[in-house]
Amino acid sequence: MPIKTITISTAKGGSGKSTLSQCLAVQLPHSALLDLDPQLDSYHWAKLRGDKYPEKKIPCAKIREAADVQRAKQQLAGGGFEYLIIDTPPSHQGTGELRKIFQMSDFVLVPIHPSPKDLRAAYTTITALKGLNVPHAAVLSVANPRTSITADARSLLGESDVGIAPVVITRLTAYPETAVDGRTPLDLKGPNRPKAEFAELQIWLETKLGGKQ
Ligand SMILES: Nc1ncnc2c1ncn2[C@@H]1O[C@H](COP(=O)(O)OP(=O)(O)OP(=O)(O)O)[C@@H](O)[C@H]1O
Ligand SMILES: [Mg+2]
């Protein structure tokens, strides 16, 4: 099976792109990460993670251009990898490289913190993805699922015919607390809310990608 590429992108900074990239890499089986963001959040996170969880070691490489994605895929081929997750910088698609990476992706997830500013910024990414005909969807992130602003964001996206993940990634301090040493809330012992949300996100994503259900 060829490796499936999932890119995480939105024009807005601080919307949870790196956190979503890292958690997805932990949640999805046999995943590797690529970090296009010069801030290198995911790259440093993976370095901190190191060998803490041998069964969930996440290789991560820095990349600068679309050709690096192709090179990474060639290097990973035959290694049993199923998913390649690409963390990106906040960008209004100013560089052609991000557009090329979108076109090389099997799916692009657009994390949106439910606020008017974040929604406006996300629409520039969604418009670019629609124009390129790349499969994509929004996922409400760093959000309180029970607030009216989250419900409003969901309806606004629905009215604009934007695909949206059925699960909201709840705002919880466990995310920043675990990220400091290369973990995620999914690595914690016992059941927790992030585990339930990411398990649901995985099932939905696999359906979107036409794989296992
Ligand atoms: N679900 C969440 N609950 C609580 N805090 C979160 C959640 N997701 C992300 N955060 C925190 O919000 C901040 C921004 O998240 P993150 O770095 O993932 O966003 P980003 O979109 O990658 O930012 P940038 O645009 O700077 O790359 C971080 O401190 C992160 O730990
Ligand atoms: Mg980031």
pTM of this prediction exceeds 0.85:
yes
Q: Which CATH number fits domain 4-208: 3.30.450.40, 3.40.630.30, 3.40.50.300, 3.40.50.970?
A: 3.40.50.300
Give the model confidence (pLDDT) of 28-71 as tens digits: 999 999 999 999 999 999 999 999 999 999 999 999 999 999 99
Among protein residues, the one whose CA lies closest to atom 9 of ligand 1? 16
How far apart CA 27 and CA 198 sit, in angstroms, is 7
Among protein residues, the one whose CA lies closest to atom 25 of ligand 1? 13
Residue 41 CA, ligand 1 centroid: distance in Å = 10
Asked whether the beta carbons of 112 and 119 are under 8 A apart, the reply is: yes
Query: What residue ranges line ligand 1, CB within 6 angstroms?
Result: 13-19, 37, 39, 41, 90, 141-142, 169, 171-172, 175-176, 179
| Whether the predicted pLDDT of 95 surpasses 90 | no
The predicted structure's pLDDT at residue 4:
97
pLDDT (average), residues 173-202: 98
Nearest ligand to the C-alpha atom of residue 13: 1
pLDDT (average), residues 133-140: 97
Backbone angles phi, psi at 95, to 5 degrees: -100, 145
The environment of the single-atom ion ligand 2, i.e. residues with CB closer than 5 A, is 17-18, 41
| Whether the predicted pLDDT of 212 surpasses 80 | no
Each domain of the chain, given as residue ranges in start order, spans: 4-208
